[in-house]
A and B are shown apart, each in its own frame.
Chain A
Amino acid sequence: MDFDVIVIGSGPGGYVTAIRASQLGFKTAIVERELLGGICLNWGCIPTKALLKSAEVYEQLGHLGDYGLKVEGASFDFDAVVKRSRGVSTQLNAGVAFLMKKHKIEVIEGYATLEKGTAAPKVVVALKAGGSRSLTAKHVILATGARARTLPAIGLVPDGERIWTYREALVPKAAPKSLLVIGSGAIGIEFASFYCALGSDVTVIESLPRILPVEDEEVSKAAQKAFEKRGLTFRVSATVKSLRATKTGVSLDLDTAGKTETLSADVAIVAVGIVGNVEDMGLEALGVQIERTHIVTDGHGATGVPGLYAIGDVAGPPWLAHKASHEGVHCIEHIAGLPSSNLTAPIPGCTYSTPQVASIGLTEAQAKEEGIEIKVGRFPFRSNGKAIASGETEGFVKTVFDAKTGALIGAHMIGAEVTEMIQGYALAMTLEATEAELHATVYPHPTMSEAMHESALDAFGKVLHI
């Protein structure tokens, strides 16, 4: 055996799993075909947050008058904005390399494929530097992640020039004058928000009747209003028939309730979901069960093939970095025979647009569908002192409780910095708090988080500041 554990893929699922494996005393290696940190750190969560921060600050400049401030001739250097984002990724990429070294994890750069082995499949790595290495381990953990879904039949496939995925959208040569964003999930909305703030004329196309379709309906509605106020255009219940690049830009045939129209723009971003990276690794030959584009696993990441596990995006939705890390830690701790960490903890989801959106648990509609008798609380930021003082009165906090037990079963927030606040509810839900604990908790004044308290109070008719 060369190693106890080989992790394939060094995204937030893989590298975190490797660190935990090393902490647990496993001799660990990690295989990465491209950059340490994976998509999250190099082409996803992190560089987009860098871009969005630039956009947010720039947008604030437009409202400086509200704060009694004045700046003249505000403008931006688009290349510098992109360069900063790349710099952030580079810094964190080096950070992961440091962490691997600190935990004595061997980093193997190359492309891994699996072959039949004894205790676990054999890992054959076609090395980046040339040649190949055949490695054996007791446990092999797949954390190969996912990539943008493309639909070549209707032209939703990147051409590197005018039709982009998140990858091209992160390193544009210039901001397009006009932009079509296909898909209004978190990725689509974040890019729409960024390019809109920097002056692009952006239209977002969503096939479902509302944007951010996984969010609570009230949040979707409020988000659309807030984005439209900032100049975004939306086409909902609109199906893309075909997309093609033209000499000057892109042309898109759209079907809205039976009516066909053609939209044109400089650039289109395809953000219609993601698919797991399950191909070309020899998984089929090993008999790994693949459903649609993800690997089927049991509650602890086991694939059914002895010694082979899968975690994170490649093991199915929700496709979130923090879910991948959490699953990875659970998987390796389970392998080590430690008592299982909680895998039923609810997973929060965040969209870093302006305003931000954050949610956890069931939406009001989902709770009703499940036949749960509910109590719903709402509290707008316009009634919150800190929000008023900060000039951030947009948005609200909505909470959904099980009426019978008082359990908090869902929370939905839109507004400034709500992505930083949602963890309060995540902790409450993981600890199985009821309204009693949420009511009894003392929230500092003045903070935006007081709206979280008020929302929980409102659900039980005890709201104070309305």
Chain B
Amino acid sequence: MSTDILMPALSPTMEEGILAKWFIKAGDTVRSGDVIAEIETDKATMEVEAVDEGVVEAILVPEGTEEVKVNTPIARLSGGETKPVVVPTVPVIATPVVTVSPAMLAPAPLETATDRGGRIFASPLARRIADQKGLDLSSIRGTGPHGRIIKSDVETAIPGAPKVTEQPRPAPVAVPVLPMAPRQAQSLAQMGIADGSYDLVPLDGMRKTVARRMTDSFRDVPHFPLTIDLNIDGLLAARAKVNGILEAQGIKVSVNDLVIKAAAVALKQVPEANASYSPEGIALHHHADIAMAVAVEGGLITPIIRSAELKGLAQIATEAKDLAVRARSKKLKPEEFQGGTFSISNLGMFGIKAFASIINEPQGAILSVGAGEKRAIVVGDQLAIATMMTVTLTCDHRVVDGAVGARWLQAFKVLIEDPITMIV
């Protein structure tokens, strides 16, 4: 008897992933607990262990296949049999090969129901409506069970991605731009950029996630920025002092670590700002779980310092460093980057003076931290020199109103400018 190994869900929200690497091949004997494959999701790369034992009968999804849906059979084990294993010779096509003329080139849709052996899973009614509307099922995202395309998917689909006809026309034909077509459904050729004048980098999981989450947030969350200047001379002095104390332990506290701590304490002082909007009500979070944006190759990720308001600077510095290192090597566990209550993005190291980040849903606010720089300021009636840093709080107006955001910034300013208040 043979057992199928299914594409595992590495997090509760994972729907698909990239089968990055196989550590087994047909004929290998696998024991429960053996690492058999490496799966890459939009946020992390994880190793998969075998649950069942047996001899690998076949690898069903080849290495490097993208958009492998959760629960798709990816390999087949024969239950502990020792006789020679016959590998099926039927080629398994994980990504359907479709002939598309260059003019039809359109960015791949986020998800399609085509990933299981090339068959498109769609209800009979969805197929018929798609046919009547001239829609290409392979360009439609299925929302039914296991990603099956159902009637409502087809009814809401816009004929943006042209249908691939059975007999492709020899010459590229200009595709009419439909007035209702969403921007991303237009090809670059349609927008006047000639083919061959660029290299096309395929969208990986992370890029798709960034694109989707940022588009959704910027479009759907009513957001506004609040900007304030902070004098960080006191903070820098405090940092020097703290680092002197921690030197022996080999810990170095960065300005960013102090910003994390101050933000967490400010959230405790103004709990209304530590909130998430949901249709069921406003969630007021008990702890300040601070997500810090970390640039990684090909995108960014936001690992989380949990309950940062309760943690000392040394601990925050250690955790932040560890999370950043593992984020860059894509070794974070899902629970380490999912579910923060407030985000901080710092572009100060690039000399950026001020910027306004996009809300990281469902968090109620995100703080954008600019560069610390010496500026001329007015003290009393005198010009003076001080190290100043500009920060901008982007607020989700559904939960953080202007006055709440302003009060939070006030609290934050006091904490940054007089760091000793952080330990009160």
Contact = CB atoms under 8 A, between A and B. Distances in A.
- A, B from the same assembly: yes
A406 interface: yes
Given A432-B123, A432-B151, A405 B128 contact: yes
Q: Which of B12, B124, B145 has the most CB of A within 10 A?
A: B124
B125 A407 contact: yes
A436 B124 contact: yes
B125 A433 contact: yes
Contacts, number: 43
**Best-buried of A298, A339, A433, A436 by chain B (most CB within 10 Å):** A339
Interface of A: 298, 302, 304-306, 337, 339, 341-342, 344, 404-407, 431-434, 436-437
Leading 9 A-B pairs by shortest Cβ distance: A432-B123, A432-B125, A306-B281, A407-B125, A434-B124, A302-B280, A337-B12, A437-B124, A432-B151
A414 B189 CA distance: 60
B132 A298 contact: no
8 contacts: A339-B145, A341-B145, A405-B128, A406-B125, A407-B128, A431-B124, A432-B123, A433-B125
The interface size bin for chain B is 10 to 19
B59 interface: no
A140 to B, nearest CB: 13
A432 B280 contact: no
B144 A407 contact: no
A306 B281 CA distance: 6
A405 B123 contact: no
Nearest to A340: B143
Contacts of B124: 431-434, 436-437
A346 to B, nearest CB: 12
Contacts of B126: 432
Given A302-B280, A306-B281, A337-B12, A432 B132 contact: no
Nearest to B131: A405
Nearest to B125: A432
Contacts of A337: 12-13
Interface in B10-35: 12-13
Contacts of B145: 339, 341-342
Contacts of A406: 125, 128
A304 B152 CA distance: 26
Contact of A302 (B132, B279, B283): B279
Interface string B113-143: 0000000000111101100100000000000
B262 interface: no
Residue from B150, B152, B283 with most neighbouring chain A CB atoms (10 Å): B150
A203 B98 CA distance: 68
Contact of B125 (A305, A339, A342, A405): A405
B142 to A, nearest CB: 12
Nearest to B129: A405
A344 B283 CA distance: 29
Given A405-B125, A407-B128, 17 more contacts: A298-B279, A298-B280, A304-B280, A304-B281, A306-B280, A306-B281, A337-B12, A342-B145, A404-B132, A405-B128, A407-B151, A432-B125, A432-B126, A432-B151, A433-B123, A434-B125, A437-B124
A304 B281 CA distance: 6
Contacts of A304: 280-281
A337 B281 CA distance: 17
Contacts of A431: 123-124
Nearest to B144: A342
